[in-house]
Amino acid sequence: MITKTIILPDDYQATGIRQQLKRWFIPKKWQHFLRIDQNILVNNTYRPFNSLLQAGDKVTLRFTELDSPQNYLADDFKTLSIFYEDQDLIVVAKPAHIKTHPNQPGERGTLLNQVAGYLAQSQQKPYILHRLDMATSGLIVFAKNPLVVPILNAKFRDKIIHRYYLALIKRNPHIQATGQITAPIGFDPNDKRKRQVRQDGLPAKTRYDLLAENNHYQLLKLTLETGRTHQIRVHLAHLGVPIIGDPLYETPQSFPRLLLYAYQIDLSLPFSDKQIAIQTPYPAIVNHFLGQK
């Protein structure tokens, strides 16, 4: 069982219990068990779902019907870079060239194995919420309990959690200061590893802003409105500016690693309206390229 206790803030506007559970993105299945098991308490007393919550109320939720299917082998975590952690989630930085998670039972050597090793110290385990390509580095959020998995997934789905990427490209004078790429993306019939822009592909939308440039290179900030495989990489290649070092979409490959980084997450915390921005410093290699004359 997992118990959550929330004290409603002083500026809270009176809201029915059922509506507040929806605002917290609690799945209907779990709402059902909270009601029939009388596992929602307001100021230590069970209240029906049509009751109003008021500022200052203490809401206690006891979850007993939680699935917990994810189990991963623990790895050494000494090199793990942690950028944020609380009782529900952890945000870490994935290096380039390691996988986000295992694909086979018993597999080790992925970021998720490292996080599993770290959380094992406190008898916890990680739950995957999203991924980065193996060649991409940057911030990834993992849940620390099964309760917040559907809540955070819903916030990702509804674009309440925002992810921002940096990509370094060769300078193109036709790249505007800000723009949007809406080309549909589908499979490349000639290479199962790749995707391509094609009319029968799935809708895809990428927004970008030009952050910095010199005579040779440009740094873009990108956000995803959709989540297609390789979306940023395919969209920039489609514009004729593949990401520097992209092993699949830049020909010939001009640098031995992909210069794409998930550098910021605007995170909406579970059971809260609080938003926090988590950001990594610009990678040193970006400054190296932009410093060139």
CB distance 221 to 208 below 8 Å: yes
What per-residue string of b and e applies to 272-292 under the rule 16 or more CB within 10 Å gives b? eeeeeeeebeebeebeebbee
Structure tokens at 78: 């000494």
Widest CA span of the chain, in angstroms?
69
| Cα–Cα distance for residue pair 171/239, rounded to 1 Å | 12
Is 133 part of the annotated catalytic residue set?
yes
Structure tokens at 32: 């059902």
Active-site residue (options: 11, 133, 191, 209) = 133
Q: Which residues pair with 118 in a beta bridge?
A: none
Nearest to 83 by CA among 141, 40, 151, 26: 141
Burial class (CB in 10 A: 0-12, 13-18, 19+), 189: exposed
CB distance 241 to 170 below 8 Å: yes
Active-site positions read 133
